[in-house]
């Protein structure tokens, strides 16, 4: 079955430190992969997406992710964490012609002052 696995339900980093949120996918066809962010009591905001073009994808708010087929990974990084980055992050899978998004279980990011 096509899916994504997020490693670590909770991640804490110090302000100014590197943010690394891990995601691995399972797919028998070329995947489309996304990272969405959800702030408390809000809907989902698209951070970035991969749809078979460049493997290094840059998103909003300084985030980027690299698609690595050999490792079936799509990890999210940001060089320097900011207090405003505290939120829930979801790695999301779909593929061409697929009507639905399949969400990972989410990673709650906490920023330590």
Partner 1 sequence: ETGVTQSPTHLIKTRGQQVTLRCSSQSGHNTVSWYQQALGQGPQFIFQYYREEENGRGNFPPRFSGLQFPNYSSELNVNALELDDSALYLCASSLQAGGDTDTQYFGPGTRLTVL
Stretch that binds partner 1, among 11-19, 67-75, 78-86, 95-103 (CB under 8 A): 95-103
Q: Could you tell me which stretch among 20-28, 39-47, 52-60, 75-83 binds partner 1 (CB under 8 A)?
A: 39-47
Q: Output the smallest distance, CB 34 to partner 1, in A.
A: 7
36 sits near partner 1 (criterion: CB under 8 A): yes
Under the binding rule (CB under 8 A), the answer on residue 98 touching partner 1 is yes
Selected binder of partner 1 within 12, 45, 55, 61 (CB under 8 A) = 45
Task: Measure the CA–CA gap between 90 and 112, rounded to whole angstroms.
Answer: 21
- Rg of the chain over Cα atoms, rounded to whole angstroms, equals 13
Which H or E run includes 95? strand 87-95
Cα 13–22–27 angle (5° rounding)? Answer: 165
**Smallest distance, partner 1 to C-beta of residue 113, A:** 25
Please state, in angstroms and as integers, the Cα–Cα distance from residue 44 to each residue in 11, 56, 61, following that order: 19, 22, 15
Binding residues for partner 1, rule: CB under 8 A, are 34, 36, 42-46, 49, 90, 94, 96-106
């Amino acid at each position: 079955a096509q899916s994504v696995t997020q490693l670590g339900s909770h991640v804490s980093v110090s302000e100014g430190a590197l943010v690394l949120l891990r995601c691995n996918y399972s797919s028998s066809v070329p995947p489309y992969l996304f990272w969405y962010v959800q702030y408390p009591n809000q809907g989902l905001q698209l951070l970035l997406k991969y749809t078979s073009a460049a493997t290094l994808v840059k998103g909003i708010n300084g985030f980027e992710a690299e698609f690595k087929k050999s490792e079936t990974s799509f990890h999210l990084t940001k060089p320097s964490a900011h207090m405003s980055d505290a939120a829930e992050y979801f790695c999301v899978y779909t593929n061409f012609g697929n009507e639905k998004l399949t969400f990972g279980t989410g990673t709650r990011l906490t920023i330590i002052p």
